[in-house]
């Protein structure tokens, strides 16, 4: 592909490119918004089953009308998707089968029927059937103007219903029983949401096909959830991610015509989700890894500081210089850990290195005293309020001392009555 | 049973059957207004189901209930339900304020805008449960006790007259339990009626003015000093009703209807 082609694509100069890009973006953005509710209501598998279940409807629409009219396909798909969904819910509610069984059953039964119908159409000798199998993996590359009209109409309808009833949909997604108790028409809302999902799926299969449709519902929602805690912003982000996936998918299949659009849309969506899961603040894997490392380092530093204090306490000499090897003798640090901890403390100016020995600075001394104080206060609290034996409190205190905030410290001090000694009869350093 | 003027809640012949297993058998009771009322009984006695039956969350097989002498539909505005906090997913994308504002959905319906007045009411509700500093906190970061207090704040924001709480003290620390009890007493002093599903016998006498003892059927209902007796508790908690549950099992096993029509 030449750079001229690339520019043509980006500027949407070719009318055909414009159709494909517009179609993919509309479908993917709309599916992503609907999918947020599928995701939040933990109905991802139901979404997948519904996507597979629309196939017989599409085939029947063709058999009955003999035409490849997107509107007929849409109506057929919605009817068969709703049927599958209602049977699924009926089976689950009557306790004839468990939910997972009902989902798997409807997915395979409806998809099976769909494939049977599709095969018989293909062997019927009807010349106009060519391309019907595109419903399996999508036909974004051959989107027509008529398709776009239907997509735009459907998306506008679905999105306006979602925004008009956003409060109701949010309420049933978070706490359905509460929604019933305040008199919201929960049954109706639930039905509306199901219907919107089926509608979205029935339109969306034109781009990615029934097999991959559920990825379009769930993946952008998953990615968006990583970045935000606000449902409105989540809807917006999911839409954006969906649209971006649609654009990227269209781009790949344009630059390499042998490549199918639908699967590439899904690949792009998955890539966005993967990036989100790794890099999102707070919830992302990296952020959590950094936080864990920060905590481990804090624990390590504080344990070393405590050790300096205890050695000084034992020998009676405050701020006594200590050899690195001696530190290991007092407490089981691994050598590399100790080195890391000492380096971090030095950076914070809590300790200083002088003639192959380590020594607390004034700042370090204050910090060490604070940690020892927290440790001993906590031991005393455990002993007095949880009736733990004095030889049992040490390990608990060891873990807790690192998370006690100044507020909790003040509270401990108060309820223990400004204690002077801990359960082992050692002095609690004053503040 | 004493005659009660101006009842808050009445149940008449309430029967609920889950998958052919009777959970509540012909429950009849009348509760007064302005009291803290406990619903107690062993596990599986149908305590939570009783609340849900009154609220129409589970289908009734027979009987009916009345709230302030009316059908629930006519007085919904005066009733607030606090489900067990484990029934919702606390990883939902929402802040504490978002959840408390849901308490205003009843008044505003599905379409009316949330006004600054609603926000002020929600803020005040948060202050009452001492969670005002957490208004913009994500609900996924709350402890069990904090979650329960957020649910209470949502209920307070409803400004109802009858509060139905399902096991509010489960998985909650002692300090939170105390502060919730104090809040309930304060609500009582403002004339509210509070019905609490509870299972800890030790605190029953201290917390409640009135008690409903339940074990699938109604054992007793009355002021706590009349009902909280060794004899009645023994009936409620001992296996004396096993014949009833055996009959229930038989009905289910042999696919009999519980009512003949």
Provide the pLDDT confidence category of residue A142 given band limits of 50, 70 and 90.
confident
Residue, of A401 and A22, whose pLDDT is higher: A22
**Per DSSP, what are the bridge partners of residue A421?**
A427
pLDDT of A2 higher than 60: yes
**Could B93 and A228 be called an inter-chain contact, meaning their C-beta atoms sit closer than 8 Å?**
yes
Q: Identify the weakest region by mean pLDDT among A7-11, A146-150, A375-379, B165-169.
A: A7-11
Best mutation site among B93, B134, B151, B158 for testing chain A: the one with the most A CBs within 10 Å? B93
pLDDT digits over A233-251, tens only? 999 999 999 999 999 988 8
Q: Does B259 touch chain A (CB under 8 A)?
A: no
Nearest by CB to A178, which of B73, B81, B111?
B81
Please give, rounded to a whole number of angstroms, the shortest distance from the CA of B131 to a CA of chain A: 17
| Whether the predicted pLDDT of A14 surpasses 90 | no
Residue B182, CA distances (Å) to A110, A158, B84, B186 in order: 57, 47, 19, 6
pLDDT in tens, A24-50: 999 999 999 999 999 999 999 999 999
Output B102 or A337, whichever has higher pLDDT. B102
CB–CB contact B94 A42 (8 Å): no
Q: Which residues on A lie below 8 Å from B79 (Cβ)?
A: 181
From chain B, the residues in CB contact with A180 under 8 A are 55-57
Instruction: Lowest mean pLDDT of A133-142, B74-83, B163-172, name the range.
Output: A133-142
User: In B, which residues are within 8 Å of A188 by CB distance?
Assistant: none
Instruction: Give A63-89 pLDDT, tens digit per residue.
Output: 999 888 889 999 999 999 999 999 999
Q: Do B102 and A175 touch (CB under 8 A)?
A: yes
pLDDT-derived band at A364, boundaries 50, 70, 90? confident
Q: Is the pLDDT at B261 greater than 60, yes or no?
A: no
Q: What is the mean pLDDT of residues A386-415?
A: 80
Is the pLDDT reported for residue B34 higher than 80?
A: yes
Map residue B30 onto helix, strand or coil.
strand
Between these two residues, B68 and A409, which has the higher pLDDT value? B68
Cβ–Cβ contact B81 with A under 8 A: yes
Contacts of B55 in chain A (CB under 8 A): 177, 180-181
pTM: 0.85
pLDDT at residue A225 tops 90: yes
Beta bridge partners of residue B221, listed in sequence order: B212
Q: What is the pLDDT of residues B49-82, one digit of tens each?
A: 999 999 999 989 999 999 999 999 899 999 999 9
Cross-chain Cβ contact A230/B87 below 8 Å: no
If we measure between CA atoms, which residue out of B31, B59, B119 comes closest to residue B258? Answer: B59
Tell me the chain A residues in contact with residue B81 when contact means C-beta distances shorter than 8 Å. 177-178, 181
Chain B residues with beta carbon closer than 8 angstroms to that of A225? 93
Residues from chain A that touch B19, judged by Cβ atoms under 8 A, are 95
In this complex, is the C-beta atom of B52 within 8 Å of any C-beta atom belonging to chain A? yes
Q: Closest Cα partner for B50 from B80, B16, B88, B1? A: B16
Mean pLDDT for A266-294 is 93
pLDDT for the residue numbered B245? 63
Question: Is B95 in the A-facing interface, judged by CB distances under 8 Å?
Answer: yes
- Residues A158-197: pLDDT tens digits? 999 999 999 999 999 999 999 999 999 999 999 999 999 9
pLDDT at B94 over 60: yes
For residue A237, the model assigns a pLDDT of: 97
pLDDT over 90 at A412, yes or no: no
Residue pairs spanning A and B at CB distance below 8 A: 67
Task: Look at A182 and B140 and tell me if their CB atoms are within 8 Å.
Answer: no
Question: Is the pLDDT higher at A371 or at A133?
Answer: A371
Q: What is the pLDDT of residue B246?
A: 66
């Amino acid at each position: 592909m030449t750079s001229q082609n690339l520019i043509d694509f980006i500027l949407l100069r070719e009318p055909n490119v414009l159709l494909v890009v517009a179609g993919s973006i509309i479908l993917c953005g709309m599916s992503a918004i609907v999918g947020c509710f599928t995701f939040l209501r933990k109905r991802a598998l139901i979404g997948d089953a519904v996507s597979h279940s629309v196939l017989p409807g599409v085939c029947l629409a063709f058999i009955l009308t003999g035409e490849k009219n997107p509107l007929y396909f849409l109506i057929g798909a919605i009817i068969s998707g709703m049927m599958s969904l209602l049977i699924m819910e009926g089976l689950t509610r009557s306790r004839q089968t468990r939910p997972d069984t009902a989902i798997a059953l409807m997915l395979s039964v409806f998809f099976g029927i769909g494939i049977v119908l599709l095969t018989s159409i293909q062997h019927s000798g009807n010349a106009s059937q060519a391309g019907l199998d595109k419903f399996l993996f999508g036909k974004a590359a051959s989107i027509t103007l008529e398709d776009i009209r239907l997509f735009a109409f459907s998306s506008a309808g679905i999105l306006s219903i979602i925004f008009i009833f956003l409060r109701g949909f949010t309420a049933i997604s978070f706490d359905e029983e509460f929604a019933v108790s305040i008199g919201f028409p929960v049954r109706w809302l639930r039905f509306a949401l199901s219907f919107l999902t089926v509608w979205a799926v029935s339109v969306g299969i034109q781009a990615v096909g029934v097999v991959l449709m559920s990825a379009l519902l769930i993946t952008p929602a998953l990615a968006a959830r990583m970045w935000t805690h606000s449902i409105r912003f989540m809807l917006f982000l999911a839409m954006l991610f969906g649209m971006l996936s649609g654009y990227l998918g269209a781009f790949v299949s344009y630059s390499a015509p042998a490549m199918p659009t639908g699967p590439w849309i899904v690949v792009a969506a998955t890539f966005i989700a993967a990036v989100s899961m790794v890099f999102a603040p707070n919830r992302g894997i990296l952020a959590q890894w950094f936080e864990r490392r920060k905590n481990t380092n804090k624990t390590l530093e504080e344990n070393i500081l405590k050790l300096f204090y205890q050695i000084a306490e034992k020998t009676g000499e405050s701020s006594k210089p200590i050899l690195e090897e001696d530190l290991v003798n007092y407490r089981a640090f691994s050598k590399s850990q100790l080195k890391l901890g000492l380096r971090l403390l030095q950076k914070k100016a809590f300790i200083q290195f002088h003639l192959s020995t380590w020594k607390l600075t004034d700042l370090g001394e204050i910090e060490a005293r604070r940690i020892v104080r927290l440790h001993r206060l906590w031991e005393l609290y455990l002993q007095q309020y949880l009736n733990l034996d004095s030889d049992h409190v040490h390990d608990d205190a060891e873990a807790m001392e690192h998370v006690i905030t100044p507020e909790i410290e003040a509270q401990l001090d108060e309820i223990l009555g400004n204690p002077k000694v801990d359960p082992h009869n050692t002095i609690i350093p004053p503040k | 049973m004493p005659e009660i003027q101006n009842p808050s809640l009445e149940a008449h012949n309430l029967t609920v059957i889950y998958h052919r297993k009777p959970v509540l058998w012909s429950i009849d009771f009348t509760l007064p207004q302005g009291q803290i009322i406990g619903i107690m009984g062993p596990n599986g006695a149908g305590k939570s189901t009783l609340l849900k039956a009154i609220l129409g969350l589970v289908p009734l097989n027979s009987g009916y209930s009345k709230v302030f002498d009316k059908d629930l539909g006519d007085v919904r505005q005066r009733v607030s339900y606090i489900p067990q906090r484990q029934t919702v997913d606390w990883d939902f994308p929402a802040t504490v304020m978002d959840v408390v504002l849901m308490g205003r959905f009843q008044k505003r319906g599905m379409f009316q805008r949330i006004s600054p007045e609603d926000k002020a009411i929600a803020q005040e509700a948060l202050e009452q449960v001492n969670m005002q500093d957490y208004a913009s906190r994500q609900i996924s970061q709350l402890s069990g006790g904090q979650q329960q207090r957020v649910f209470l704040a949502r209920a307070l924001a409803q400004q109802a007259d009858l509060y139905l709480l399902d096991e509010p003290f489960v998985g909650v620390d002692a300090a939170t339990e105390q502060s919730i009890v104090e809040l309930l007493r304060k609500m009582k002093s403002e004339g509210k009626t509070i019905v609490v599903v509870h299972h800890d016998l030790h605190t029953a006498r201290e917390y409640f003015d009135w008690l409903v003892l339940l074990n699938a059927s109604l054992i007793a209902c009355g002021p706590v000093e009349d009902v909280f007796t060794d004899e009645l508790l023994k009936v409620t908690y001992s296996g004396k009703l096993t014949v009833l549950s055996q009959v229930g099992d038989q009905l289910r096993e042999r696919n009999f209807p519980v009512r003949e029509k």
